[in-house]
């Protein structure tokens, strides 16, 4: 091995001089170029969390139903009763999607699905949380945003539809801060029995190590390092770092792996995602407290002449590393031949704790696995608190007409119906989608287990920009509220932290505030974090993205009749608002969309109120009084009312009457005060609802009645009316019109 590693070579691998010294001391010598590459990907932010680990430890990760904790394996596992469990996780593919939106998004879906079946779970549904720059208008930027938007949606559809896992919900928002740097966060949930949990550990010295799945090619070289840099005009050159997905191979691999796992032949299993073969070998060895030795001569390759460096750092998709119980090798042969997939016995588990890679018998890499996988340097980055957001002088902002404003808010792509998107996703395959995309939370019937699960993704990044701590808390609260509205009790959270370059102190401050906010709220809502992902360096030439700590939350609905949707159901039902009329305008969509202002202090979250409102609604639902429920979020009460009229199976009007109100009408209709839910009930449950609200000491306001073909809001003496068809038209076709 040569010691000819120049400082330039070290830096071009994204390693610091200090880190290089550490590598030398671990090895007791200079690394060769292949080893340098191996360290560079394992010690990238993407694999090592070196800049965020200290923060991530703040999350609550335990609870009575947690079977596998965050960080222990590829995804956390949660008990859902009767011997059944779920594994779920969210992951980002922001950088690849910025450079090559279709493949970037597609391989994001493939990767998260592999993470889930690696746990032994059958993937049953997908969600996604997406952010793009504005797509309306004719500017070059808007055109680029539309190209990214179309490409990402098509990529998600391509992979998810083909592999046969339904995409049943999520969220999509648009804001200038994502110009040229979209966020693509994908979520997958799988189901398994407790005794089916698979481990990513190289257990059993002497056990053979198998490589299964697609051949290794030169695509996706060192993608993990690419994802740990700022995006720039130069990023186009990184296109070779974007992998190409093959959902058909993904489907075969999924079925073959589940079949092999069911056969009992597997001692350990790990997908090859970021940092490919490198990461899967050293992580399984590290988890198993063992070593792994493989010979690259056995690895199926797509083309001749690949160097060990390329084979180890390739991020070719649809590959897995499987540690097989000795004597069961024939099972692998049998099953992988049945599914026509490449497989190879590539090495074995050793006792010496080393990740040893040979190339035709010649040692190419020899690194202590644990040090490589788990002992990357950890940094406490500098955080600087910026001056707080300016107080909003709402009295100096002209009041826009309520009639016109509501129509404009409904057609703002962030609020508008996402049907153009979700009609491209197969959301009915697996015959379990009970509440399809378009309600507060999607509801899925997990047939195997006989359980109803509700799931949602949420984050208001404008709030996070103005106050990252409060914004993050609200992301958790909104997710919980969405689940409650569907009739579910929240179980657990997966998060995806999307931030800018952590070396900028103000970015790191945002990250730390957000993590602390998420952690606090997860404790209060009793939803431990079971896993997630960090994506830093979300920068475009115009600056960092708004801090976006996306929350994916899953809940359980115990009885089918408790499943609740957001659309009004029936004429003459009563309409209620629980949680008060509110008055907070800071960071609101009204200010952003109508006045072009992202200013003010975002609404405050009060836990006691939130928990009381949630408890009230869940009890009301369980008592059978609730016909529909919809949370108040972007655009406040007015948008919630309009959506309740137009997003159900049938379009139906409502007559709302709010007594004389001292303040401004725009404030009344569009404020975004937290912990408010709009719901409808049968007329005869009025007295019971009042009693229940009194018991929980919360504000319950009777707003009016469902019926007619108009949404009519009376404030004092003033009547504002909208034809339901007009509301529907503004809302339903807006995105399609923007991109046509």
Partner 1 sequence: MKIGVVQFPGSNCDQDCLRALTDGLEFEADYLWHKETSVVAYDGIILPGGFSYGDYLRCGAIARFSPIMRAVVAAARDGMPILGICNGFQILCEVGLLPGALIRNQSLLFVCQPVWIRVETSEAPCTRMLKRGHKLRLPVAHGEGAYIADEKTLSGLETNDQVVFRYVDSNGDPTPAGNPNGSLCNIAGICNRQRNVVGMMPHPDRAWEARLGSEDGLLLLRSMFRSALVATA
* 164 contacts partner 1 (rule: CB under 8 A): yes
Among 429, 489, 597, 701, binds partner 1 (CB under 8 A): 429
Residues 261/171, Cβ–Cβ less than 8 Å: no
Q: With CB under 8 A as the contact rule, which of the stretches 160-168, 320-328, 348-356, 529-537 interacts with partner 1?
A: 160-168
Catalytic residue among 11, 13, 46, 95: 46
Among 49, 125, 178, 339, binds partner 1 (CB under 8 A): 339
x/- mask, partner 1, residues 505-544, rule CB under 8 A, reads ----------------------------------------
Q: By C-beta, is 27 or 256 nearer to partner 1?
A: 256
Residues 165/430, Cβ–Cβ less than 8 Å: yes
* 302 contacts partner 1 (rule: CB under 8 A): no
Q: How far is the CB of 595 from partner 1 (least distance, A)?
A: 35
Q: By C-beta, is 49 or 132 nearer to partner 1?
A: 132
* 431 contacts partner 1 (rule: CB under 8 A): yes
Q: By C-beta, is 213 or 586 nearer to partner 1?
A: 213
Residue 615 to residues 391, 481, 612, 677, Cα–Cα distance (Å): 33, 10, 5, 12
Among 374, 399, 560, 723, binds partner 1 (CB under 8 A): 560
Task: Give the sign of the dihedral formed by CA 113, CA 119, CA 124, CA 126.
Answer: negative
* 248 contacts partner 1 (rule: CB under 8 A): yes
CB atoms within 10 A of CB 111: 25
For the purposes of burial, counting CB atoms within 10 Å of the CB of 526, is it exposed (0-12), middle (13-18) or buried (19 or more)? middle
Q: By C-beta, is 150 or 661 nearer to partner 1?
A: 150
Among 242, 252, 472, 642, binds partner 1 (CB under 8 A): 252
Half-sphere exposure of 475 (CA within 13 A, CB side): 36
Q: What is the dihedral of CA 97, 149, 113, 35, to 10 degrees?
A: 0
Residues 148/132, Cβ–Cβ less than 8 Å: yes
Spatial separation of the C-alpha atoms in residues 300 and 343, rounded to whole Å: 8
Spatial separation of the C-alpha atoms in residues 693 and 699, rounded to whole Å: 7
Q: How many Å separate Cα 508 from the centre of its chain? A: 20
Q: With CB under 8 A as the contact rule, which of the stretches 59-67, 82-90, 416-424, 727-735 interacts with partner 1?
A: 416-424
Q: By C-beta, is 148 or 312 nearer to partner 1?
A: 148
Q: With CB under 8 A as the contact rule, which of the stretches 4-12, 384-392, 427-435, 473-481 interacts with partner 1?
A: 427-435
Secondary structure of 493-519 in HEC code, one letter for each residue: EEEEEECCCCCCHHHHHHHHHHHHHHH
Which residues, listed in sequence order, are joined to residue 643 by a DSSP beta bridge?
none
Beta strands 529-535 and 710-715 are: unpaired
Q: By C-beta, is 223 or 437 nearer to partner 1?
A: 437
Among 1, 434, 489, 611, binds partner 1 (CB under 8 A): 434
* 706 contacts partner 1 (rule: CB under 8 A): no
Residues 477/605, Cβ–Cβ less than 8 Å: yes
Q: How far is the CB of 116 from partner 1 (least distance, A)?
A: 16
For the purposes of burial, counting CB atoms within 10 Å of the CB of 737, is it exposed (0-12), middle (13-18) or buried (19 or more)? middle
606 annotated active-site: no
Residue carrying the six token digits 């093959």: 246
Among 39, 49, 226, 425, binds partner 1 (CB under 8 A): 425
Q: With CB under 8 A as the contact rule, which of the stretches 315-323, 420-428, 503-511, 711-719 interacts with partner 1?
A: 420-428
Q: Is 7 helix (H, G, I), strand (E, B) or coil?
A: helix
Residue 207 to residues 267, 323, 332, 344, 353, Cα–Cα distance (Å): 8, 7, 13, 14, 14
Q: How far is the CB of 315 from partner 1 (least distance, A)?
A: 21
Q: How far is the CB of 168 from partner 1 (least distance, A)?
A: 11
Q: With CB under 8 A as the contact rule, which of the stretches 108-116, 242-250, 476-484, 587-595 interacts with partner 1?
A: 242-250
* 722 contacts partner 1 (rule: CB under 8 A): no
| DSSP letter string, 555-620 | EEESSGGG---SS--STT-EEEEES------TT-HIIIIIH----SPPPPP-HHHHHHHHHHHHHH
* 589 contacts partner 1 (rule: CB under 8 A): no
Spatial separation of the C-alpha atoms in residues 320 and 318, rounded to whole Å: 7
* 423 contacts partner 1 (rule: CB under 8 A): yes
93 annotated active-site: yes
x/- mask, partner 1, residues 439-478, rule CB under 8 A, reads ------x-x-------------------------------
Catalytic residue among 11, 13, 93, 661: 93
Q: Is 702 helix (H, G, I), strand (E, B) or coil?
A: strand
DSSP-derived letter for residue 177 is G
Q: With CB under 8 A as the contact rule, which of the stretches 247-255, 578-586, 628-636, 659-667 interacts with partner 1?
A: 247-255
Q: With CB under 8 A as the contact rule, which of the stretches 31-39, 246-254, 670-678, 706-714 interacts with partner 1?
A: 246-254
Which residues, listed in sequence order, are joined to residue 167 by a DSSP beta bridge?
126
Q: How far is the CB of 566 from partner 1 (least distance, A)?
A: 16
Among 157, 242, 476, 698, binds partner 1 (CB under 8 A): 157
Q: How far is the CB of 559 from partner 1 (least distance, A)?
A: 12
Q: How far is the CB of 561 from partner 1 (least distance, A)?
A: 11
Spatial separation of the C-alpha atoms in residues 224 and 96, rounded to whole Å: 10
Q: By C-beta, is 660 or 740 nearer to partner 1?
A: 740
Residues 502/637, Cβ–Cβ less than 8 Å: no
Which residue numbers are catalytic? Answer: 46, 93
Interacting residues with partner 1 (CB under 8 A): 157, 161-164, 246-249, 251-252, 339-340, 422-434, 436, 445, 447, 560
């Amino acid at each position: 091995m040569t010691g000819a590693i120049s400082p330039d070579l070290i830096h071009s691998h994204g390693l610091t001089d200090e880190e290089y010294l550490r590598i030398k001391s671990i090895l007791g010598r200079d690394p060769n170029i292949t080893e340098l590459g191996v360290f560079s990907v394992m010690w990238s932010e993407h694999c090592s969390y070196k800049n965020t680990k200290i923060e991530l430890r703040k999350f609550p990760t335990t609870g009575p139903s947690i079977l596998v904790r965050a960080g222990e394996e590829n995804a956390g596992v949660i008990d859902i009763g009767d011997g059944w469990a779920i594994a779920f996780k969210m992951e980002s593919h922001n950088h690849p999607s910025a450079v090559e939106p279709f493949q970037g998004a597609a391989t994001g879906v493939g990767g998260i699905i592999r993470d889930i079946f690696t746990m032994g779970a059958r993937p049953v549904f997908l969600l996604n949380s997406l952010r793009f720059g504005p797509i309306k208008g004719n500017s070059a930027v808007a055109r680029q945003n539309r190209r990214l938007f179309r490409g990402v949606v098509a990529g998600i559809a391509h992979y998810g539809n083909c592999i046969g896992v339904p995409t049943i919900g999520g969220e999509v928002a648009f804001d200038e801060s994502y110009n040229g740097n979209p966020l693509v966060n994908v979520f997958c949930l799988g189901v398994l029995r407790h005794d089916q949990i698979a481990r990513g550990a190289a257990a059993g010295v002497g056990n053979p190590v198998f490589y299964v799945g697609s051949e290794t090619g030169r695509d996706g070289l060192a993608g993990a390092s690419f994802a740990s840099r700022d995006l720039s005009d130069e990023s186009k050159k990184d296109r070779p770092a974007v992998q190409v997905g093959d959902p058909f191979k993904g489907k075969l691999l999924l079925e073959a792996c589940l079949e092999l796992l069911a056969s009992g032949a597997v001692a350990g299993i790990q997908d090859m995602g970021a940092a490919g073969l490198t990461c899967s070998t050293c992580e399984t060895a590290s988890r198993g407290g063992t070593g792994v030795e493989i010979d690259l001569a056995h690895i199926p390759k797509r083309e001749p002449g690949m160097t060990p460096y390329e084979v180890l750092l390739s991020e070719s998709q649809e590959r897995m590393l499987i540690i097989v119980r000795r004597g069961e090798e024939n099972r692998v042969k049998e099953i992988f031949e049945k599914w026509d997939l490449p497989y190879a016995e590539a090495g074995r588990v050793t006792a010496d704790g080393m990740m040893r890679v040979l190339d035709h018998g010649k040692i190419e890499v020899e690194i202590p696995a644990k040090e490589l996988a788990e002992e990357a340097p950890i940094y406490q980055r500098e955080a600087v608190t910026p001056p707080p957001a300016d107080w909003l002088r709402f009295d100096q902002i002209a009041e826009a007409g309520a009639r016109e404003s509501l129509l404009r808010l409904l057609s703002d792509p962030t609020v508008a119906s996402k049907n153009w998107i979700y009609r491209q996703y197969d959301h009915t395959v697996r015959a379990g989608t009970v509440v399809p995309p378009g309600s507060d939370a999607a509801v899925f019937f997990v047939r195997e287990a006989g359980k109803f699960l509700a799931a949602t993704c949420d984050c208001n990044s404008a709030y996070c920009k103005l106050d990252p701590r409060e914004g993050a808390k609200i992301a958790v609260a909104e997710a919980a509220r969405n689940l409650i509205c569907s009739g579910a009790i929240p179980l657990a959270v997966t998060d995806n932290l999307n931030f800018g370059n952590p070396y900028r102190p103000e970015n790191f401050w945002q990250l730390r505030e957000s993590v602390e906010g998420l952690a606090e709220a997860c404790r209060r809502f009793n939803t431990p974090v079971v896993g997630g992902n960090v994506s830093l360096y979300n920068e475009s030439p115009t600056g960092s993205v708004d801090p976006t700590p996306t929350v994916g939350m899953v809940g359980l609905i115990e009885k089918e009749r408790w499943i609740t949707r957001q659309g009004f159901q029936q004429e003459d039902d009563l309409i209620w608002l629980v949680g008060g009329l509110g008055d907070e305008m800071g960071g609101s969509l009204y200010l952003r969309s109508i006045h072009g202002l992202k200013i003010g202090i975002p609404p405050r979250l009060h836990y006691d109120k939130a928990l009381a409102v949630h408890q009230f609604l869940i009890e009301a639902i369980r008592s059978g009084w609730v016909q529909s429920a919809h949370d108040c979020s972007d655009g406040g009460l007015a948008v919630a009312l309009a959506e309740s009229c137009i997003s159900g199976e049938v379009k139906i009007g409502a007559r709302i009457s709010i007594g004389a109100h001292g303040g401004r009408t725009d404030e009344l209709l569009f404020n975004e005060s937290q912990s408010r839910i709009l719901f409808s009930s049968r007329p005869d449950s009025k007295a019971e609802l009042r009693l229940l609200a009194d018991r929980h000491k919360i504000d319950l306001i009777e707003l009016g009645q469902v019926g007619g073909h108009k949404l009519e809001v009376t404030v004092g003496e003033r009547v504002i009316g909208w034809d339901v068809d007009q509301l529907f038209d503004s809302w339903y076709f807006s995105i399609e019109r923007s991109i046509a």
